[in-house]
Chains A and B, each alone.
Chain A
């Protein structure tokens, strides 16, 4: 497709929610009717198939495609509930050195003929896997949590992206696992403060929630549950990717149900 868009979701630090963001933003775009292909570039430590509940359906991986044993379209797996959400899985037994930057560029060039959106789930770190993942990307989404360790690593990654020729317009930021109550109590940095420190555009803010663990356990992106409050920030992020300016404040509105009411709701198990 001529207007195919290629994103890489990266962070530097591990465990900040790159895979969750990739799965849910991809699912939101698919829900809106776009053909989406997610690529798990975390070779050797794959997770995206688990988050999507596709681990038993994966037959061929990115390594089979790179080696020329399979065409990219033969290797992708369709999601069980969202037929226009596809995954090119990674291999657990291969290592990152088996794929080059040019391999990734060739692979994405081929896939971009068939999908509106390609989202690459980048591995943690700034070595080979990172360089492979950013090589074919047009836009980079940096995921960070409001912790100094993650912010520091995100800053390093932004510097590396700039060195690779990514302009400011091609880099955006998602603040994941925000605890609005902690920000209110002056115990956590706010998304605006992180945005100003890193000097990149804020694409979205995702509040911290136990529901992420529940959705991973079930193998379904949580945005598939329309009643789930946490689907709102991911849907807003998808809208912003499409160019619709949704205020960032809407990402966290209604998420801070602490106090007595929140306690009662949690006690009753209401989502």
Chain B
């Protein structure tokens, strides 16, 4: 028979502490990075560059993030250009 201890010297986290930790884990997953992809066809280099600049400016202005936390990745497949913007939240 396993003896059941009615008192443990180890301090147990309160129910609220557990909830706060789980809550922060839940929301941090999304807030750490948020990536969105957009596709264009037949765009010139200048137009793509202006779109990238706009994305960075928009993120800095409206999402309270630094420019270095906004990563914009461009990939080309024929005349289709895919731009992936990844924004890291603090």
Contacts and interface: CB of A to CB of B under 8 A. Distances in A.
B19 A148 contact: yes
Given A156-B30, A194-B23, A199-B31, A186 B16 contact: yes
B23 A148 contact: yes
A167 B27 contact: no
Interface in B4-52: 14-17, 19-20, 22-24, 26-27, 30-31, 34, 36
B75 interface: no
A163 interface: yes
Given A189-B23, A193-B23, A159 B62 contact: no
Interface string A21-35: 000000000000000
Q: Chain B interface: which size bin?
A: 20 to 34
A218 interface: no
A188 B20 CA distance: 9
A99 B64 CA distance: 34
B2 interface: no
B63 A148 contact: no
Nearest to B61: A167
Given A168-B64, A183-B16, A159 B23 contact: no
Contact of B27 (A151, A165, A168, A187): A151
Contacts of A152: 23, 26-27
A189 B20 contact: yes
A186 B17 contact: yes
Contact of A188 (B19, B26, B34, B64): B19
Given A148-B26, A162-B34, A187 B14 contact: yes
A156 B26 CA distance: 10
Main secondary structure of the interface of A (DSSP, over half): helix
A155 interface: yes
A162 B63 contact: yes
Given A151-B26, A194-B23, A199-B31, A165 B62 contact: yes
Given A156-B30, A159-B34, A186-B17, A197 B22 contact: no
A187 B15 contact: yes
Nearest to A183: B16
B30 A159 contact: yes
Contacts of B22: 148
B78 to A, nearest CB: 27
A198 interface: yes
A167 B62 contact: yes
Given A148-B22, A167-B63, A197 B14 contact: no
A168 B63 CA distance: 7
Contacts of B61: 167
Given A188-B16, A190-B16, A199-B89, 6 more contacts: A152-B23, A155-B30, A165-B62, A168-B62, A187-B14, A189-B20
23 contacts: A148-B22, A148-B23, A151-B23, A151-B26, A151-B27, A152-B23, A152-B27, A155-B26, A155-B30, A156-B30, A159-B30, A159-B34, A167-B62, A168-B62, A168-B64, A186-B16, A186-B17, A187-B15, A187-B16, A188-B15, A189-B16, A189-B20, A197-B23
